[in-house]
């Protein structure tokens, strides 16, 4: 028979650390990124490491230290803290070195608590408090910190967690011996305010209650920090402050803590410390002493605080990106994220030790298993009665290397079975001041797939109940793409047997676009949400029977190439490429390529009308449009410099604006449910009316969340392939001179396109218009160019002569006789001028800069046009001028 353990340690309930370790060991994702435990992912600063090495070579440092600590460390602590206390601390009577802060607190409890004494602890609490209090026979009385009511729906600060002082006073009785304060608080990150501490201190003075102030994170605060012992002599005489050299010097494994307090308190804590472990690690005390001695002179405290705050902000970007509320810490290195929106799967195989624990334990287990990131469930730091407060939160430690935090963010970015493959930081809204534009960060849009599934077994699209056509997926491989295929996102665990397939992947909601070769549908991704389980909407472009297979293959290959050309260029986020592709078999037996995109709100021309109220840009709208143009130039530079792709079809229809908020789509879908799309029968087919009006934009805050993207790469061409490019490209009004003349075109043709598009956007009409809009005339187009740009340079005329068969084949050339004279000078409208046709939105003081900007794009010789990279820094964009 096994010996009977003491009741204080005999329990069948597993502690949180064991459970998290078991989850990590069994997770299919390895290695786990451990953001659960609060140990550092990097070494202490070199000057402390060197001091530890030196101490190990000193004979006396390798022997027992005095029980209250090595004199040098006690002196260094006293000198470091005396300025905070406003008096000179006595290192021999007011400081005791302990084996870590936890042993220091145990020493305090063992020195003062007897059977039946009560100790007040704020919930949530550091879990070691409880066993330490109960060890000498104390009884814990709990007072909860209350989270802000809106903590589950929006970001809050740790300082908004509050004390109900009526509850605190009700917890005090004649048996109350001590109260424990933790500031900065673990796990909340709350720094108790001066007012809160003063009220607590006055209550303790009134009732003669000892204050144990756990301040192990006292050098890591981001709001004003107050030490309760410094508020009054009466409070000071009741207060023991706990500190940790391990925490403040990034050396938690050294287990060097300390107590600071008045002699009449410290002597009893020191007596208990002597009986618990006699003395602490001697050489590491010496190294900690050097740390205190040098930290101020080296600026270590400020740098440490700045670095940790930077890590906190860096990591919290992911919660903003995922729209997950979090409590922004006032101090320390833990952050609480509220995961109430996470819908845990039914019948998920949680182990027995987790099944009966609060929801946050299940969240923690699920996150480790499915995402590969470990976090701590904070109900471990609550009593059962108040565990509901922490049940939707998880605690993450950010005291790790930046690359580890970035990897954690990458994993947390998982959405459904789709996760971002190449991570870039993402803001909630784009800044619109030009001064901040160069440092913008952009959202990542490349995707990879988690899990393995049989793609040809998945039925991709389910039509709404009031539709009759249902498509079934056949798999992309039928199109024989020359490049590696776009990754397919499929539900995990899809059964192999066809009859057991669990539903469809996409549910069509509304037809939002159409053309001669495709229709575009808004759809809900039924399998979306991943660990967040949120609705995800997509736009599905379904190619029609009119599409040529080679054109379909080209568009697919171009999307693939552009998606994976670069991970670094921030212009990547301004390019809207497909995130998935699949084939659809129609009831008629035909197969249709379907491309899945991020849904976009509307084309730029409609955005202009919606915001400005006109079909031209107003002066009030001009600053915003300027920023949009700079953003588009960033995207165009990505296409040209990173992808080596020429778009060839830049126009306002192919510039789309993002949604300001997911709720706009949700509202649109709900409206569609109440008012279904109009339709009519044509033979055996049902035709649906296109509906793509997503409503008005609500104010400037919404505008700042919207930005443009370049779309539609069906006509794009690689610019890095051998041989001249001479075949016709571009919409009629957008033709560049070299295209009409057949002299060969390259990336600069897009720059010409961009210039025409800018004029069209600002002024509401094309710079070059045809007399007969139903019949395009290349010679009239050239005549219009001559009127505005001046005579055609002889070098371009010579190029046309050398390659005039191209112009003759495509646009009816040649356009110049053997003497280099334009053949239809009678068509030249000499009365036209830039100045007389200036868009009304351009202020007079900007006119010269604007026309110089336009002429950097609209010039005869392609080689004289600016690049997209050069244009985005053009003086016309500079608001300081």
Tell me the per-residue pLDDT of 800-813, one tens digit each, with 9 for 90 and over. 888 876 656 678 87
Distance, in Å, from the CA atom of 632 to the CA atom of 644, rounded to the nearest integer, reads 16
Residue 502 has pLDDT above 80, yes or no: no
541 is in an annotated binding site: yes
Q: Which of 593, 660, 579 is nearest to 415 (CA)?
A: 579
Residue 151's pLDDT is 84
H, E, C per residue of 587-645: CCCCEEEEEEECCCCEEHHHHHHHHHCCCCCCCCCHHHHHHHHHHHHHHHHHHHHHCCE
DSSP 711-759: ---TT-EESSSSS---S--S-GGG--HHHHHTS---THHHHHHHHHHHH
Contacts of 89 (CB under 8 A, 6+ apart): 77, 78, 81, 82, 95, 260
Residue 235's pLDDT is 98
* Average pLDDT for 827-841: 90
Distance, in Å, from the CA atom of 596 to the CA atom of 155, rounded to the nearest integer, reads 32
- Tell the CATH topology of 413-493+500-596: Phosphorylase Kinase; domain 1 (3.30.200)
Which residues of the chain are in CATH 3.90.1150.10 domains? 16-38+304-408
The Cα angle at residue 678 between residues 594 and 593, in degrees rounded to 5: 5
Which one is predicted more confidently, 612 or 443?
612
Residue 487's pLDDT is 29
Which one is predicted more confidently, 496 or 661?
661
* Average pLDDT for 575-593: 76
Residue 67 has pLDDT above 60, yes or no: yes
Contacts of 361 (CB under 8 A, 6+ apart): 16, 19, 354, 377, 379
Residue 852's pLDDT is 95
Which one is predicted more confidently, 272 or 665?
272
Residue 475 has pLDDT above 60, yes or no: no
Alpha-carbon dihedral sign for residues 550, 552, 554, 556: negative
Per residue in 158-196, pLDDT (tens digit) is: 999 999 999 999 999 999 999 999 999 999 999 999 999
Distance, in Å, from the CA atom of 828 to the CA atom of 786, rounded to the nearest integer, reads 7
Describe the crossing of helices 100-112 and 263-277 by its angle, rounded to 10 degrees.
Answer: 110
Residue 545 has pLDDT above 70, yes or no: no
* Average pLDDT for 31-36: 93
Residue 580's pLDDT is 80
Residue 415 has pLDDT above 60, yes or no: no
Residue 808's pLDDT is 62
SS3 352: helix
- Tell the CATH topology of 60-298: 3.40.640
Q: Pairing mode, if any, of strands 717-718 and 645-646?
A: antiparallel
Q: What is the CATH number of domain 612-649+715-881?
A: 1.10.510.10
Residue 264 has pLDDT above 60, yes or no: yes
Which residues of the chain are in CATH 3.30.200.20 domains? 413-493+500-596
The domain 16-38+304-408 is classified under which CATH number: 3.90.1150.10, 3.30.1390.10, 3.40.190.10, 3.30.70.100? 3.90.1150.10
pLDDT confidence band for 413 (50 / 70 / 90): confident
Least confident residue range of 77-91, 336-350, 468-482, 493-507: 468-482
Residue 42's pLDDT is 92
Residue 585's pLDDT is 66
Name the average pLDDT for the chain.
Answer: 84
Question: Is the peptide bond prior to 62 cis by the omega test (within 30 degrees of 0)?
Answer: no
CB 257 within 8 A of CB 100: yes
Residue 443's pLDDT is 29
Mean pLDDT highest for which of 451-455, 540-544, 736-740? 736-740
Residue 14's pLDDT is 79
Which residues of the chain are in CATH 3.40.640.10 domains? 60-298
Give the predicted TM-score (pTM) of the model.
Answer: 0.57
pLDDT confidence band for 703 (50 / 70 / 90): confident
φ/ψ of residue 810, rounded to 5 = -100, -40
Residue 436 has pLDDT above 50, yes or no: no
pLDDT confidence band for 457 (50 / 70 / 90): very low
């Amino acid at each position: 028979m096994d010996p009977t353990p003491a009741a204080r340690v005999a329990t069948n309930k597993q502690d949180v650390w064991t459970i998290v370790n078991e989850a990590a060991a069994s997770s299919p994702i390895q290695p786990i990124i451990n953001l659960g435990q609060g140990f550092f992912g990097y070494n202490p600063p070199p000057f402390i490491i060197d001091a530890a090495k030196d101490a190990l070579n000193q004979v006396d440092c390798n022997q027992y230290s005095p029980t209250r600590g090595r004199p040098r460390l006690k002196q260094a602590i006293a000198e470091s803290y005396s300025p905070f206390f406003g008096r000179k601390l006595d290192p021999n009577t007011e400081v005791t070195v302990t084996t870590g802060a936890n042993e220091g607190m145990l020493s305090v409890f063992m020195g003062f608590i007897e059977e039946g004494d009560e100790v007040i602890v704020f919930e949530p609490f550091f879990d070691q408090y409880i066993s330490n209090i109960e060890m000498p026979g104390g009884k814990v009385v709990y007072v909860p910190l209350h989270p802000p009511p809106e903590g589950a729906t929006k970001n809050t600060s740790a300082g908004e967690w509050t004390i109900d002082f009526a509850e605190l006073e009700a917890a005090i009785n004649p048996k109350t011996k001590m109260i424990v304060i933790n500031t900065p608080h673990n796990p909340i990150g709350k720094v108790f305010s001066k007012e809160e501490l003063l009220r607590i201190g006055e209550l303790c003075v009134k009732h003669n209650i000892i204050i144990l102030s756990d301040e192990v994170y006292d050098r890591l605060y981001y709001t004003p920090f107050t030490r309760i012992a410094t508020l009054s002599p009466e409070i000071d005489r009741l207060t023991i402050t706990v500190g940790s050299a391990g925490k403040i010097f990034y050396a938690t494994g050294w287990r060097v803590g300390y107590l600071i307090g008045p002699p009449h308190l410290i002597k009893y804590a020191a007596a208990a410390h002597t009986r618990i472990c006699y003395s602490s690690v001697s050489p590491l005390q010496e190294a900690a002493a050097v740390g205190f001695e040098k930290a101020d002179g080296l600026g270590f405290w400020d740098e440490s605080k700045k670095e940790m705050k930077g890590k906190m902000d860096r990591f919290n970007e992911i919660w903003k990106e995922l729209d997950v509320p979090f409590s922004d810490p006032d101090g320390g290195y833990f952050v609480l994220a509220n995961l109430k929106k996470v819908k845990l799967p039914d019948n998920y195989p949680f182990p027995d030790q987790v099944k009966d624990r609060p929801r946050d334990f299940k969240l923690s287990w699920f996150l480790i298993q499915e995402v590969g990131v470990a976090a701590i469930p904070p109900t471990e730091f609550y009593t059962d009665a108040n565990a509901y407060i922490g049940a939707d939160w998880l605690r993450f430690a950010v005291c790790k290397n930046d690359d580890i935090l970035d990897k954690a963010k990458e994993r947390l970015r998982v959405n459904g079975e789709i996760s971002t493959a190449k991570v870039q930081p993402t803001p909630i809204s784009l800044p619109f001041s030009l001064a901040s534009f160069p440092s913008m960060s952009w959202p990542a849009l490349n995707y990879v797939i988690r899990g393995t599934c049989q793609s040809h077994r998945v039925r991709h699209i389910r039509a709404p109940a009031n539709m009759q056509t249902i498509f079934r997926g056949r798999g992309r491989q039928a199109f024989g793409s020359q490049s590696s295929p776009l990754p397919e996102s499929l539900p995990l665990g899809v059964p192999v047997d066809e009859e057991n397939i669990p539903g469809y992947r996409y549910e069509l909601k509304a037809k939002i676009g159409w053309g001669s070769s495709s229709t575009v549908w808004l759809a809900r991704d039924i399998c979306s949400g991943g660990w967040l389980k949120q609705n995800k909407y997509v736009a599905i472009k379904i190619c029609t029977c009119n599409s040529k297979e080679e054109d379909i293959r080209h568009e697919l290959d171009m999307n693939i190439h552009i998606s994976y050309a670069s991970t670094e260029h921030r212009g990547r986020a301004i390019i809207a490429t497909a995130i998935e592709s699949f084939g659809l078999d129609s009831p008629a037996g035909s197969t249709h390529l379907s491309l899945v995109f991020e849904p976009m709100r509307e084309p730029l021309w409609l955005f202009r009308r919606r915001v400005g109220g006109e079909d031209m840009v107003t002066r009030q709208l001009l600053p915003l449009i300027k920023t949009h143009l700079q953003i588009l130039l960033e995207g165009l530079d990505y296409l040209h410099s990173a992808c080596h792709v020429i778009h060839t079809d830049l126009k306002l229809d192919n510039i789309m604006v993002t949604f300001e908020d997911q709720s706009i789509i949700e509202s649109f879908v709900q409206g569609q449910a109440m008012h279904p799309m109009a339709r009519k029968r044509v033979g055996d087919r049902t035709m649906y009316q296109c509906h793509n009006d997503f409503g008005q934009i609500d104010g400037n805050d919404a505008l700042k969340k919207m930005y443009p993207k370049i779309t539609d790469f069906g006509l794009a061409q690689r610019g890095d392939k051998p041989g001249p490019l001479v075949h016709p490209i571009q919409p009629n009004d957008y033709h560049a001179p070299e295209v009409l003349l057949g002299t060969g075109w390259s990336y600069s043709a897009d720059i010409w396109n961009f210039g025409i598009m800018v004029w069209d956007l600002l002024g509401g009409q094309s710079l070059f218009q045809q007399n007969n809009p139903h019949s395009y005339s290349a010679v009239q187009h050239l005549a219009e160019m001559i009127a505005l740009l001046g005579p055609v340079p002889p070098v371009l005329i010579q190029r046309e002569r050398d390659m005039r068969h191209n112009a003759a084949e495509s646009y009816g050339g040649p356009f110049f006789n053997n003497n280099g004279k334009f053949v239809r000078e009678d068509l030249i409208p000499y009365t036209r001028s830039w100045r007389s046709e200036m868009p009304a939105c351009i202020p007079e003081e900007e006119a010269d800069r604007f026309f110089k900007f336009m002429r950097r794009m609209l010039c005869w010789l392609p080689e004289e046009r600016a690049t997209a990279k050069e244009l985005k820094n053009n003086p016309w964009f500079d608001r300081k001028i």
